[in-house]
Structure 1
Amino acid sequence: MAIFPFDIHASEGKARTGVLKTPRGDIRTPAFMPVGTAGTVKGVYMDQVKETGADIILGNTYHLMLRPGAERVKKLGGLHKFGGWSGPILTDSGGFQVWSLSKLRKMSEEGVEFQSHLDGSRHMLSPERSIEIQADLLGADISMQLDECTDFPSTHEQAKKSMELSLRWGKRSLAAFGDRKDQTLFAIIQGSIYEDLRQRSAEASLSETTSGGYGGFAIGGLAVGEGHEAMCNVLEFTVPHLPESRPRYLMGVGKPIDLVESVARGVDMFDCVIPTRSGRHGQVWTDEGPYNIKRAEFAEDQAPLDGSIKCEASQSYSKAYIHHLIRSKEMLGAMILSWHNIAYFEDLMARIRTAIAEQRFKDFADSFRSNWKG
């Protein structure tokens, strides 16, 4: 497979900033990937997403497999053309749905048999089928191995069994991926909150690969109920076992404070549904945490959401107007807030990159922690 060049431009402690070079464009790291579950970042036009500073978005294997169907997406030119995004796309493998839709699936060594939440139809998602969907049909630039997102809490034995299944699926994913040009595959490190299991997962993923190995390493199985402190602890003892020459991706995370703390521990890439999900419910993200625009205090507030962010949604609409839209259940309100929230997250990542480059990330992180009220 292709191993995309990953150039580290500066580092401070464990935090680092650089560029992951893909055939479809550079990804500045640390990077936040807006989530485009069904081929769309909910409520936001793709050109707006690009204008926020996003270099890459995420697509979802499970949902696109069911609707409109991965074969149909391929017939229509692949996910980039279908969704109108010309930059890099990373797709998840469907592994998260192994966890989140546990009542609708049966898992075996072969893979996962899902019962569609849409119409009850059954679909088998094996490591090989997951790679076919991601790389061949959707045309993802970065694919993920199929894994099992381990339940929390889990006993050590349960987490070990789950981690070992993910390792076996990872080997099959690698074999299925083969020698594809201009595309790469990331491993997923599992092991719940157990240090020895995370180390075993990382070392096995490194040693059991061929032809240069995985193009990057993701840390999965977090943000599933373990809490912020436990998440940080897992990163402390997991990241040192991952190679410095490949990007490190923390899956499904998270709140702004999570991003800052994870960068401090050496993480390079993130994704989360928070910006758009919050936007649909009236939440506005800031460096202090979120606030709800529906509160009465904003009914006559003529200030913009955040005049410091270079985004039309952040600068051009008053809080009073968005308060009115959200209280009136007008879809425009959710669209504006989703747009702003993505812009806020991308602005945060840009500030983090600059702070690392200027060797003042520690001060930035200390200040961010002291102001955080979320």
Structure 2
Amino acid sequence: MTPFAFQLLARDGAARRGRLFTAHGTVETPAFMPVGTQGTVKAMFPEDVAQTGAEVVLGNVYHLMLRPTAERVARLGGLHVFMRWPKTILTDSGGFQVMSLAALRSLTEEGVAFRSHLDGSRHMLTPERSVEIQGLLGSDIQMQFDECVRLPASREEIERGMRLSLRWAERSRRRFEELGGPAKGQALHGIVQGGDDIRLRIESAAELARMPFEGYSIGGLAVGEPQAVMLAVLDETLPVLPQEKQRYLMGVGTPHDIVESVARGIDMFDCVMPTRAGRHGLAYTRFGKINLKNAKHADDPAPLDPESDCPAARDYSRAYLHHLIKTGEALGAMLLTWNNISYYQRLMRDIRAAIDAGTFEALRAEMDALWAKAA
């Protein structure tokens, strides 16, 4: 079994170029993970996701525990086999989804009791159970169970959630080791919480850094706060975390968010944005965003990007894509999702190449100019 490891290869300012080694292959970082919530990246075949250059996808504990259940996935060979994705898989802990079920949940020190949004059945999710589910799924990179406090919130509420998450981190780590996660080449991340309170964020990071996690995640951001707040949290939090460990910013985000976060030392991202946008007619390209619902594309024979290595961007006219979106054809969502995931992977390749070459700030300035023009 390949042991989990993270290797730093280069730096350009605070930006980091690295490589993850997992039991299911290597992941070049900075990396963007397409979101495969229910064991699938929506509107894409697994082999097409791989063709974009993606080396890791994300699965969701909350949804998979309810349907088809983690036990069933385990009996069928684990999530890699079940979804035909032989590369690396990261799973979240279910904490974020539980936060969104405020009307259906009851939170205690032990964990969270909640009713399924599918059929109203009752379930209990604890730090131990979350790690057990992730073990049954067989994911390579796992998350501690945490409480993600919805912002805005009072300082007292943010501190309560942060301290509860620290106690749950200890329990998650203990169960992960009892299940033999390290011996299986798996990794467990601690999750920094603390809302928009910088002092609480620093304390959370410092306490987690004392625990033997393989990597560290920044949670509780990209939940509606201004970008400036998110970046300020990263500025103050990242220096506290171990420099030799992987850092993952959860649920982020826009291409601009990604570039600015890489500039501060983040190694990995996930977000539903490229897949959700594709299903709603929005394409990400190196020229900016293109809304294919717009009538001006109805007679445009040009592709989204004639120089793209993605067939969806290179081989189909904007007029045809406009037609598919306006008629509600499934192929429209499939092609635009393929284009968007390809764009995000190309962005990450460009970022990695710039860090390797020591030209990341030039790339950052170029992207800033593009986004300013498109605004």
> TM (normalized to structure 2)?
0.96
* Counterpart pick for 1:205 among 183, 205, 208: 208
Deviation at 1:3, TM superposition (A): 6.6
Matching residue of 2:6: 6
Moved more, 191-200 or 79-88: 191-200
Determine whether 1:252 maps to 2:246: no
Matches within 5 A, 1:178-217: 178=177, 179-180=180-181, 181=183, 182-207=185-210, 209=211, 213-217=212-216
Deviation at 1:308, TM superposition (A): 2.8
Using the alignment, how far apart are the partners of 2:271 and 2:286 within structure 1?
Answer: 17
Secondary structure of 1:53's match? coil
Question: Which ranges of structure 2 fall in alignment gaps of 5 or more residues?
Answer: none
Matching residue of 1:285: 284
Q: What count of residue pairs does the alignment treat as equivalent? A: 369
Whichever residue aligns with residue 46 of structure 1, its letter is P
Deviation at 1:225, TM superposition (A): 1.1
Determine whether 1:83 maps to 2:83: yes
Using the alignment, how far apart are the partners of 1:288 and 1:134 within structure 2?
Answer: 39
Secondary structure of 2:289's match? strand
Using the alignment, how far apart are the partners of 1:263 and 1:331 within structure 2?
Answer: 34
Kindly indicate whether the alpha-carbon contact (under 8 Å) linking 2:6 and 2:21 is maintained by their aligned counterparts in 1.
yes
Matching residue of 1:112: 112
Moved more, 114-123 or 3-12: 3-12
Using the alignment, how far apart are the partners of 1:154 and 1:356 within structure 2?
Answer: 37
Kindly indicate whether the alpha-carbon contact (under 8 Å) linking 2:2 and 2:22 is maintained by their aligned counterparts in 1.
no
Matches within 5 A, 1:5-84: 5-84=5-84
Whichever residue aligns with residue 112 of structure 1, its letter is V
Using the alignment, how far apart are the partners of 1:348 and 1:103 within structure 2?
Answer: 39
Kindly indicate whether the alpha-carbon contact (under 8 Å) linking 2:2 and 2:23 is maintained by their aligned counterparts in 1.
no
Whichever residue aligns with residue 292 of structure 2, its letter is I
Identity %: 54
Kindly indicate whether the alpha-carbon contact (under 8 Å) linking 1:3 and 1:214 is maintained by their aligned counterparts in 2.
no
Deviation at 1:313, TM superposition (A): 1.1
Matching residue of 1:151: 150
Whichever residue aligns with residue 347 of structure 1, its letter is R
Matches within 5 A, 1:319-338: 319-338=318-337
Secondary structure of 2:34's match? strand
Using the alignment, how far apart are the partners of 1:198 and 1:147 within structure 2?
Answer: 14
Kindly indicate whether the alpha-carbon contact (under 8 Å) linking 2:95 and 2:146 is maintained by their aligned counterparts in 1.
yes
Using the alignment, how far apart are the partners of 1:3 and 1:235 within structure 2?
Answer: 29
Runs of 4+ in structure 1 off by over 6 angstroms are: none
Using the alignment, how far apart are the partners of 2:286 and 2:257 within structure 1?
Answer: 12
Alpha-carbon RMSD: 1.3
Whichever residue aligns with residue 190 of structure 1, its letter is Q
Determine whether 1:172 maps to 2:171: yes
Kindly indicate whether the alpha-carbon contact (under 8 Å) linking 2:38 and 2:64 is maintained by their aligned counterparts in 1.
yes
> TM (normalized to structure 1)?
0.96
Deviation at 1:2, TM superposition (A): 8.8
Whichever residue aligns with residue 204 of structure 1, its letter is E
Q: What do the CA deviations read for 1:17-51 (whole angstroms, capped 9, x no partner)?
A: 11011121111000000000000000000000001
